[in-house]
Structure formats: C-alpha cells, structure tokens
A and B are shown apart, each in its own frame.
Chain A
Amino acid sequence: MPEGVSLSALAALPWDAVLILLPLTGAVAAGLWPRSARPIGLLVSAGGIPILVGLGTAVAGTDGLHHAVGGWGAPLGIELRADALSLVFLATTALVGLGVALYADSYFEPTLARWFWPLWLFLLGALNALFLSADLFNLYVTLELMGLAAVALTALGGGRAALTGAMRYLLATLLGSLVYLLGVALLYHATGTLDFGLLGQRLEAGPASRTALGLMGAGLALKTALFPFHFWLPPAHASAPAPVSALLSALVVKASFYILVRLWLELFAPLAATAATGQVLGLLGMAAILWGSWQALRQPRVKLLVAYSTVAQIGYLFLAFPLLSAAGLPDAAAWRAVLWLVLAHALAKAAMFLAAGNLLRFGGHDRITDLDCVAQRLPLTVAAFALAGVSIAGLPPTGGFIGKWLLLEAALLQGRWDLVTVMLLGGLLAAGYVFKVVGHFFTPAATRHEAQRVPARMEWTALGLAVLALLLGLAPGILLPWFDSAVVMPMAGARQ
C-alpha cells in the first residue's frame, strides 16, 4: 500500500532532531548574516509547523518515540523523546512562535531586528530541545539556554526599565536553575542515573527523593513565576518589547512548567509520599489566581495588567497537583484540563500582549484611562484584545472556557470546593480586568494625543492568535483525544 509506505518513510525521518537543529542553525546563520536574518527567521519560524506535522504522524499510534542522538543511548548519550505531552508544548510553541514572528517582522526597526532574529531562533531551538529532552541534565542545559535567550530578548528594547526588569529576571532565572540543579544532583547521587526511564525504575520514596523534589519543584516554581515567586515576572514582561512579552508569557514560563509536569507525572506522583507537595502547589496556585487577578485589576497600564494576568493564569496550571485519583495517582481529567489551558492561555495571552503592543505603538503610551477612542480607530486590535480576554476570563465560546469547564468538573467530582470557588472567582476577576480595559477602548481621552500608524500586519497577527483561541472552544472534541494521551502516556510509562 503506497500510502502506508510513505507514512512509514515519514515516520523514519529524525523529525525531533530537525526541530532542534533547524532553529539553532538558523540562529547562527541569522547572527552571521544580519541582512538575511529576516527571511531566515520567518522561514524557520514557519518551518516548525510542517516539521511538527511530520513528528505528529510519527508519534501517532505509538507510546512515544525515542531517538538516541549519534547512536549513543542512555545512560551515556543524549536521548530525545517525543510523545503526546511533548507535542502539546511543541505545537503551542510552533503556533505562537509563528504568529509572534510575523508580528515582530513589522514591529522591530532594522537595528533591533538584527538582534531579535538570532535570539528568537536560539530561544526556539532551546524550547524545542527542552520539550524533547529525555533526561534531567539535558533538561537543565536547555532550561538554562532558554533562560539566557529570554533575558537577552527582554533587554532588547534598551532603556532603564527594560534593563532593570531583565536584570531581575536574570537573577531569578539563574537562581531557579541552580536550585533545580541541586535537586538533580541529589537524585543522581541517590539513583546513579538522570534518564527518565531508568529513574522511574530506581526512584524510591524517602528523604532523598523528597528533598530532590522539593528543590527541583522550588527552582521550577521560581522560573514559572508561581506565587509567591512571581516578583520578577511583571517588570520583565511589562518592560520587554511586545513580541518578546508575548513569547515570555505564552511560552517561556510554560517550559519550566513542562519539566514540573514531567517530573510529577512520571517520577514523583507514583511515590505516594508526595501528596503533601501536591497540596502545597495547589494552595500556591489558588493564591496566585487571587493575588494575580487582584493586582491586574489595580494596574493603571495595559501591559502591566496583562503581565499580572499571567501570574494569575499560571495559578490555574497548578490546580491539578492536589487532585488525585482514587488510586492515589494524578487525576488524568484534571491534567488534561491543565494542558488544554496551557495551549488556550498561550494563544490568548500572546494575542493580548501583541494587541497591547499595538496600543502602545498607536498612542505612544498604554495608560488605560488615557486610551482614546481606539475601538473606532484600531478595531482589529480591540477585537483581538477583547476576544483573547474573553478566553482568559474563561467565558464561552472560547478555548479558555473549555479548559475551565474541564478543570471545574474534575475538581467537583473530588468535592474540592476550595478549588472550584477560587476558579470561579478568578474568572470573575479576570472578566473585571479585561473589561476595565475594553470599556476605555470606546471612550475618548481627556487630552488628544498624536497617533502613530500601526502596520496592518501587527493588527492581523494579534487577531489571528485571538481567533485561534476562540476556535479552540468551538470544536474541542477534535483535539481532546490528543490531550488525553498526553496525560495518559507519561503516567502509563511511569507505572511500568
């Protein structure tokens, strides 16, 4: 059967390696030849999607692909692993990355663009490598690379606020990696391996594994900006250039969260002794939702508001930790909901930051009360912000609603009224801060400002991402099975 042949030929290609090497090569090329940086950057950003389709075809129907780079497998060499969970994060990265790249192409002046493209491609390569790594040390390396690229991008705009924000971010991200590395070292000492598969067999409940979990968890929580470790996020995300803010909020904080999910589902949750850690993470998640939303509501500027909204939305991702199934294992339904929220939030938050960037470009400021009839003058941007905000607030018919519904359902089935109440309150507060801005879109400002032209592409990319967040809510049934296996696969692997 020719079709079967071509499919297996597709499956045989090393898609995972291409997904890492292409952006890294692109980054080097874009750095060496600044004049070609733009076509290289756009091409590589767009190339992620077909490569991912290839990888998806290869992964479909298997319980994950393993690929030993250069033929050296664990425990010596670098091993790559692609399964449905990696694909969720890779696809999120590819989609948001393409949208932001198209936006950035119109956003940056040539002097900044020559720095943006290599850094972005470097970040993209690091992200892809992180989602494909199969051992704890490689995860550390990719995490560090990603952090450095992200800090450099944050500082790209220059100026005092951006540099202060970037410096704080640098310290936080280095500290986070360091603490994570301590945990890794401890695990290596206890088990003699860093490979996920081998760790799963050798790890036992005890003080060593508990301390390791505590250290790695704390380091990753710092990098994910989980309350109360969120202090570095608002200044960094609010002062970075708009496309960078979008990348940081939509993708970079999700990367450290991805590691935490991996650790939790595959290594630690099966050790029953970690239930208390799950409860603590859940509590911090609830605190993040309430505190972040409340702070967002109080912000006078759009970008700061959106940044605090990220602090709140990260809280939702941690609500699955305290939910355990009857057998004491992670609740698959709750994790499915959380992964859904990862994708929905990434699309919507990127759209919001891009829209905020348009507002900033248009009026020269992003003070909420001074917004001047933008609903009439930048309708596409306003539509993007409002649609994305509706998804962030978890209102139908958007992807955010579906995620919230699934998570509410999982929490209710376990009788966790505390989680339910916080989620509902968080949704209300989110609607509050979103529509606080939307309300001022319509009214004229007290003083008229000179308006700058906003390129059409910057408006359309913001709207495109917001529409994707909306579409996610219209036919969730198409994607849900994939999210199911994204949770079930790592857990099944852990039980073997």
Chain B
Amino acid sequence: MNPGNGILLSVLASSLLPGLVIFAIAEHRIALRTTLNLLGAVVKLVLVGWMLWGVAHGQAYELRLALLPGLDFVLRAGPLALLFVTLSSVLWLLTTLYAIGYLEGSPHRSRFFGFFSLCVTATVGVALAGNLLTFLLFYELLTLSTYPLVVHRATEAARRAGQSYLVYTLSGGVLLLAGTVWLYSLTGTLEFRATGFVQDLDASHHGALIAIFWLLIAGVGVKAALFPLHGWLPQAMVAPAPVSALLHAVAVVKAGAFGIVRIVYEVFGVEQAADLGVTLPLAGLAAFTILYGSLRALYQDDLKRRLAFSTVSQVSYIALGVAIAGPIATIGGLVHLVHQGLMKITLFFCAGNLAETLHIHRISEMDGVGRRLPWTMGAFTLAAFGMIGLPPVAGFVSKWYLGLGAMEAGQDWVVLVLAGSSLLNAAYFLPILHRAWFRAPAGDGFAAAGGRHETGWLLLWPPVITAAMSLGAGMLAFIPFSPLEWVQFIGRREFIGYE
C-alpha cells in the first residue's frame, strides 16, 4: 500500500468528518462547534504542510480506489494540486475564524459550518483529483454544497440568487459531464498526464476533440466566471460575507480556473491544444472577460457587487496565462491563482467588516470610513493596490510574468489588455480609496468604536493577515515555498518548457 493513501484520505476527512458532526451539533453548543471547526482546519493545515515538504523532496502521494470497471477514483498530490490545496487550507482556517466572529448570534450556524466544511472538502478534492471523473465528482459536490450557503439568509432574494446559481453551475456540470463521457468513449482513459492523454487519437477525431474541449471549458468556465457564463457570481453576493470571501472569491471560481489548467495541460496537453487551434480563442475569451468584468465593475455602487465583477475580471488572468500556452505566461497565470485569492479574500473580509460593523454596503456611503476603521481600510488599500498591479504587492508579480510570457509567446496584444485592465482596475478601486481616506464622513460621522479595537478581533485579524500575506508574496517572491517559487517548481516538474 502506498504511504500516501492515509494522508490523502486524512486531508479530505479533516474537513469532511467535522462537517458531518457539526450538522448534528445543537445550535447553542458554540464551544464544541468552534473546537471541531478549528481542530479540523489546523489538522488539515499540518497534513498539507507535511505533503508540501514531501513533494518538494520528491515524494509522490497517490490514492486509487476502484469505482467503475476501468475507471478509478484517484487522488494525487502533485505540486500543482498542492498549490490549490495549500491556498484553500490556509484560507479555510482564516475564514473559519472570521466566520465565527461574523455569524456570532445569528441563527442556523451548525448548518452553515457543516456545509462550509463540505465545501472545503470538495475544493480540496477538486485540487487533488487525479483523473477527470474524480474531478467531476468533486466539482459537482462543490456546486451542491455551496447552494445552501448562498440561500443561507433564507430571504426571497437569497432563494432567487440560489436558483440562478444552480441554473448556471448545474448547466455547466452537464456540459462537463457530456465532454467527460464523450472523451472517455474515445480514449478509454481519463487519467491526468503531464502531456495530456489525447495525443494517440488520429486526425479523424480532431473535430470531436475540439467539440470536447469547448464542452469541458464551458463546464468549468461557469465556475471560473468566463464571459458569458459569469452571471451567477454578482447575484451570489447575497450570501454572508465569509461565503463571498472564501467561496466566491477563492474556492468556487478557482475550482473553475484550476479546471481550465487541468484541461489545457493535463487532458489535452498544451501542444495538442495549440495544434487544435483552441488556445487562441480561449485566450481571446479570457482577455475579453478581463476587460468586460472591469468595465462592469466601474458601474457598481454596491461594494460587494463591484468586487464580484472585479473577480470576474481577475480570475480570467489565470485562464489567459494558461491559454497563451507559453511556459512563462503559465507561471503568471498559476501564481495569480494564489495571489488573486489572497488579495480578493482580503477585500471581501473588509467589505464584510464594513457591513457588519457600520452597516455600510454601498460605495457612496464610504466617505471618511478610513478614520473609523483604519486597520480594515489599510488592509483593503493594500489589496486594492495589489489588484491594480502596483509593486511590491503580489498582483504585480502575476502581471509581470503574464506580460513577459505573452511577449515571449509572440502575443504582444496581451500586454495591451493587461495595461488596459490595470487602468480600469485603478479606475474602480482608487475612487473607493479616495472616499475612504480623503473625504469627510457624511452627517454626524460614525459611532465611536466600542472596545479597544475598531471591530471584533475575529473580524479584524483575518483581513490584516491576508493583506500581509499578499504583500509578503510580492516582496518575498523568491524565497523557498513562496507562491512564485512553488509555481516555478511546478513548471519544472510537471510542464515541459520551463527552465
């Protein structure tokens, strides 16, 4: 038996089991629930750290269980999988802390944390999936386990948002299923491989392969919020802030983006994909989404909706980097998976603090809020700078590699897209910062802070930590185990062409 079996199952179980137990915990037993939540999150983090160390030293972890004849349930912890697993696990711990503070005193917390843990399990499963079927299983599980969180507030608006969320994501799931089963009928395997597994098919199947590519991409593109499949994301903002933060800024959209990476590189193989002529249209679609999302963000007054459209735009950087099909651009795309996650979760935490502490939901209400919530708005500012791509925050590193990679691949137009998008980012973030820091509060100003802190410490520390991490990921980009170093390690280990 492979030594990886135990640890891979434990990584899943560390959120699955607490989740299932939490469903059964009575609403008022806060201490027990919190202990379970944090225990699971910490255990997961330790296990992930262990695997990171192992993989960096050449260890491979694989778990294989027979599911159907010829098709296994496969979990495999390679460098690429661990990139996403680490991101999810670290942010899960922080978001759990945040959610405990945010939901204090609100009803149905057992249900909330139960499904929250299921979502994390599904996300980690998406990352660790070793073949397309396993990926599909966890991808759909993620859809189903996020739904109760979207409708958590139990209002009519929440119900409608949930309905629209499912219409989008389940339709995507059907396309993904169609592509997967079609591909399986052609190849007889669904195992992810560094150079893809479709190269043995002869030229007569090219038409089918192109159709399968778009089916699969449309399937994961819904979660990655690729235009025109992005409509669910702004609507899903009706969910509580921790959900928006972890799931709709990180887990769900990243599951889609991560799927694009897997499909382009490990299903089709980047060279075959380029030969089929599908990467350029994908890059074009991603570029369009980047600009479109930014433009729509400009016109939102609701803070969370503006952030949501910003997510639509930013997640497509990952797709763009992958679709340019050059090694350096791919590095840029992959590292943005982490960088965007850190920055966007900070922004959503801060938006949650504004809503929870001061009941501010709209940008037009944010005048002078920096004086009342200096730490929160400080973290927000840092993350916004990162989004715009200002050095030394992490976003700059991503954009640098994306631009460089595009030039190297001879796709100079991408640089224009990046520049245009940065301008638009500045255009929708800087006015917020200006209002917060340089305008006087309207009317009688904000109520003074109650305690020693500007808000509850559980609400304050997570955004401050993630903001610091975004800064660190940019400033210390070249130390071992930094996101960039790890992505370069992926490039050397899993994809051809990065030296």
Task: Find residues 439-459 in chain A having any chain B CB closer than 8 Å to their own CB.
Answer: 439-440, 442-444
List chain B residues, Cβ under 8 A from A444. 154
Closest 9 CB pairs of A and B: A412-B185, A396-B137, A442-B154, A408-B181, A439-B159, A477-B66, A431-B170, A396-B140, A442-B151
With contact pairs A396-B137, A435-B147, A439-B159 given, residues A427 and B67 touching in the complex (Cβ less than 8 Å): no
Chain A residues with Cβ below 8 Å from B166 are 431, 435
- Count chain B residues whose beta carbon lies closer than 8 angstroms to a beta carbon of A: 35
> 8 Å CB contacts to A: which residues of B397-437?
none
- Is B280 close to A, CB under 8 A? no
Given known contacts A373-B154, A396-B140, A402-B68, what 7 new A-B pairs fall within 8 Å (CB)? A376-B107, A395-B173, A408-B181, A420-B181, A435-B162, A442-B154, A444-B154
Q: Are A442 and B158 in contact (CB under 8 A)?
A: yes
| A123 to B144 Cα, complex, angstroms | 37
Residue contact A439 to B144, C-beta cutoff 8 Å: no
> Which one of A406, A412, A427 lies within 8 Å of B68 (CB-CB)?
A406
- The reply on A327 being an interface residue by CB < 8 A is no
The answer, yes or no, to whether B108 is at the interface (CB within 8 Å) is yes
Given contacts A396-B140, A444-B154, contact A424 B174 (CB under 8 A): yes
**In residues 137-194 of chain B, which contact A (Cβ within 8 Å)?**
137, 140-141, 144, 147-148, 151-152, 154-156, 158-159, 162-163, 166-167, 170-171, 173-174, 177-178, 181-182, 184-185
Interfacial chain B residues near A424, Cβ < 8 Å:
174, 177-178
Q: Is B105 an interface residue (CB 8 A)?
A: no
**Interface assignment of B80: CB less than 8 Å from any CB of chain A:** no
Give B463 Cβ to nearest chain A Cβ, in Å.
29
B334 within 8 A of A: no
Q: Does B69 contact A (CB under 8 A)?
A: yes
- CB pair A412–B162 under 8 Å, yes or no, is no
A442-B154, A477-B67, A477-B68 known; A428+B141 contact, CB < 8 A: no
Q: How far is the CA of A435 from the CA of B137 in the complex (A)?
A: 19
Q: Cβ of B181 and Cβ of A412 under 8 Å apart?
A: yes
A402 to B73, CA, bound (A): 13
A selection of 19 A-B contacts at a CB cut-off of 8 Å is A376-B107, A376-B108, A379-B111, A395-B140, A402-B68, A405-B177, A406-B68, A408-B177, A409-B185, A413-B185, A424-B177, A424-B178, A428-B171, A432-B167, A439-B151, A442-B148, A443-B155, A475-B67, A476-B67
Q: Which residue of B is nearest A444, CB measured?
A: B154
Contact indicator A409/B170 (Cβ below 8 Å): no
In the complex, whether A480 has a CB less than 8 A from a CB of chain B is: yes
Q: Find residues 422-471 in chain B having any chain A CB closer than 8 Å to their own CB.
A: none
Q: A-side binding surface: helix, strand, loop or mixed?
A: helix
Contact B137–A397 (Cβ < 8 Å):
yes
Question: Complex Cα distance A397/B167, Å?
Answer: 19
Would you give the 0/1 interface string for A378-417, flagging 1 where the beta carbon is closer than 8 Å to chain B? 0100000000001000011100001001101100110000
What is the interface of chain A, defined by CB distance below 8 A to chain B?
A: 373, 375-376, 379, 390, 395-397, 402, 405-406, 408-409, 412-413, 420, 424, 427-428, 431-432, 435-436, 438-440, 442-444, 475-477, 480
Contact with A along B51-84 (1 / 0, CB 8 A): 0000000000000001111000000000000000
Contact A390 B144 (CB under 8 A): yes
Cβ B170 vs Cβ A397 within 8 A: no
Q: Say yes or no for B136: interface residue by CB 8 A criterion.
A: yes
How far apart sit A435 and B162, CA to CA, in the bound complex (Å)? 9
Instruction: Report B232 CB to chain A, min CB distance, Å.
Output: 14
Closest residue on chain B to residue A404 by CB atoms = B177
Q: Are A428 and B68 in contact (CB under 8 A)?
A: no
Contacts of B178 in A (CB 8 A): 420, 424
Query: Shortest Cβ distance from B26 into chain A, in angstroms?
Result: 12
Shortest Cβ gap from A463 to chain B (Å): 12
The chain B residue sitting closest to A438, CB to CB, is: B147
A476 to B177, CA, bound (A): 18
Pair A409/B141 contact, Cβ less than 8 Å: no
Q: Give the CA-CA distance A476 to B66 in the complex, in Å.
A: 9
Quick one: which of A428, A440, A480 contacts B69, CB cutoff 8 A?
Answer: A480
Residue of A395, A432, A443 touching B154 (CB-CB under 8 A) = A443
Set of chain B residues within 8 Å of A442, measured between Cβ atoms: 148, 151-152, 154, 158-159, 162
Which residues of the other chain, A, contact B158 by a CB distance below 8 angstroms? 442-443
In the complex the two chains form, is B68's CB within 8 Å of A476's CB? yes
Please give me the residue from chain A that is nearest to B71 by CB atom: A405
Q: B159's contact among A406, A432, A443, by CB below 8 Å, is which? A: A443
A402 to B67, CA, bound (A): 9
The answer on a CB contact under 8 Å between A405 and B68 is: yes
Q: Which residues of B sit under 8 angstroms from A379, Cβ to Cβ?
A: 111
Assess whether A439 is in contact with B162, with CB atoms less than 8 Å apart.
yes
A405 to B159, CA, bound (A): 30
Minimum Cβ distance to chain A for residue B449 (Å): 34
In the complex, chain B residues whose CB is within 8 Å of the CB of A396: 136-137, 140-141
Q: Which chain B residue has the least Cβ–Cβ distance from A383?
A: B23
With A and B bound together, what is the CA distance between A109 and B73 in angstroms? Answer: 47
Expressed in whole angstroms, the Cα–Cα distance for A439 and B164 within the complex equals 11
Bound state CA distance, A433 and B144, in angstroms? 15
Within 8 A of A (CB), among B343-384: none
Given A402-B68, A477-B67, check contact A409 B159 (CB 8 Å). no
- How far, in angstroms, from A435 to B178 measured CA to CA in the complex? 21
Contacts of B173 in A (CB 8 A): 395
Please indicate the chain B residues that have their CB under 8 angstroms from the CB of A428 in the complex: 170-171, 174
Q: Quick one: given A376-B108, A420-B178, A424-B177, are A397 and B141 in contact (CB under 8 Å)? A: yes
State the CA gap A53–B185 with chains docked (Å).
36
Q: How far is the CA of A420 from the CA of B180 in the complex (A)?
A: 13
Asked if A395 contacts B182 (CB within 8 A), the reply is no
A12 to B282, alpha carbons, bound, how many Å? 66
Q: Please indicate the chain A residues that have their CB under 8 angstroms from the CB of B140 in the complex.
A: 395-396
- A408–B182 Cα gap in the complex (Å)? 9
| Residues B156 and A443 in contact, CB atoms below 8 Å apart | yes
Contacts of A436 in B (CB 8 A): 163
Question: Is B68's CB under 8 angstroms from A440's CB?
Answer: no
- The reply to whether A412 and B182 form a contact with Cβ atoms under 8 Å apart is yes
Residues of B close to A431: CB separation below 8 A: 166, 170
- Could you tell me the distance between the alpha carbons of A439 and B184 in the complex, rounded to whole angstroms? 34
- How far apart are the CA atoms of A205 and B139 in the complex, in Å? 49
A396 to B125, CA, bound (A): 13
Give the docked Cα–Cα distance between A482 and B163 (Å).
39
Interface residues of B in 179-224 (CB under 8 A from A): 181-182, 184-185
Q: Which residue of A lies closest to B156 (CB)?
A: A443
CB-defined contacts of B108 to chain A, threshold 8 Å: 376
Shortest C-beta distance, A98 to chain B (Å), equals 24
Interface string of B109-130 (1 = CB under 8 A from A): 0010000000000000000000
Interface residues of B in 247-288 (CB under 8 A from A): none
Taking a contact as CB atoms under 8 Å apart, the answer to whether A435 and B163 are in contact is yes
A409 CA / B107 CA spacing, docked (Å): 45
Among A413, A432, A435: residue with most chain B CB under 10 A: A435
Cα(A396)–Cα(B166), bound, Å:
15
Residues of chain A within 8 A (CB-CB) of B148 are 375, 442
Q: How many Å lie between the Cα of A469 and that of B166 in the bound state?
A: 22
A439 x B154 contact (CB < 8 A): no
What CA separation (Å) do A480 and B68 show in the bound complex?
8
Contact B181 A409, beta carbon cutoff 8 Å: yes
CA distance A159 to B174 in the complex (A): 42
A430 to chain B, nearest CB (A): 10
The verdict on A409 contacting B184 (CB below 8 Å), with A396-B140, A442-B154 known, is yes
CA of A379 to CA of B148, assembled, Å? 12
| Bound CA span A396–B162, Å | 19
Chain A neighbourhood of B170, CB < 8 A: 395, 428, 431
Closest-by-CB residue of B relative to A409 is B181
In whole angstroms, what is the CA distance A432 to B178 when docked? 18
A482 to chain B, nearest CB (A): 13
A395 to B145, CA, bound (A): 12
- B186 (CB) vs chain A CBs: closest residue: A412
